[in-house]
Amino acid sequence: MTSTIQNYISGLKNGKIIGTKCKKCGNIMIPLKPVCPKCGSFDVEEFETAGEGTLRSFTIIYVASEKFKDKVPYVVALITLKEGGAVMGRLLGVDPNKPEDIKAGTKVKFELLIEREEAVVAFKPLY
């Protein structure tokens, strides 16, 4: 099986986070990878995550690339998924001007975000 980033992007556009799991060592990879970076096995399988996880860490972007300069400030978060593995994405539904209100450990859910006709990984807190 060959997993590609295009499968990952297609999944996002359909409201899903698709990952791969190594059948040999159990390593979870997001986005998809055709080879396990942990053990080197090619024996991996695609799976759909529940799209839920926990906020591990975050940063607030005040200076962005030209593509996102009209969005600042915004929050980018590292999310540990329920199944394992981690993914970075925008954190919606929080005030980037009040970082003291954003807490590591908060449960989050994937939210499809389309900007300029592109799928963007984003999450919203579950509170």
Q: pLDDT tens across 15-61, in order?
A: 999 999 999 999 999 988 999 999 999 999 999 999 999 999 999 99
User: For residue 11, what is the enclosing H or E element?
Assistant: helix 5-13
Evaluate if residue 3 carries a pLDDT over 60: no
pLDDT, residue 1, reads 47
Q: pLDDT tens across 64-112, in order?
A: 988 888 999 999 999 999 999 999 999 999 999 999 999 999 999 999 9
Tell me which CATH code domain 52-125 carries: 2.40.50
Q: Up-side HSE of residue 27: CA atoms within 13 Å toward CB?
A: 19
**Inter-residue contact 33 to 46 (CB < 8 Å):** no
- Percent pLDDT > 70 in the chain is 98
Work out the average pLDDT over 7-11. Answer: 90
Q: Domain boundaries in the chain?
A: 5-48, 52-125
pLDDT, residue 2, reads 54
pLDDT, residue 117, reads 86
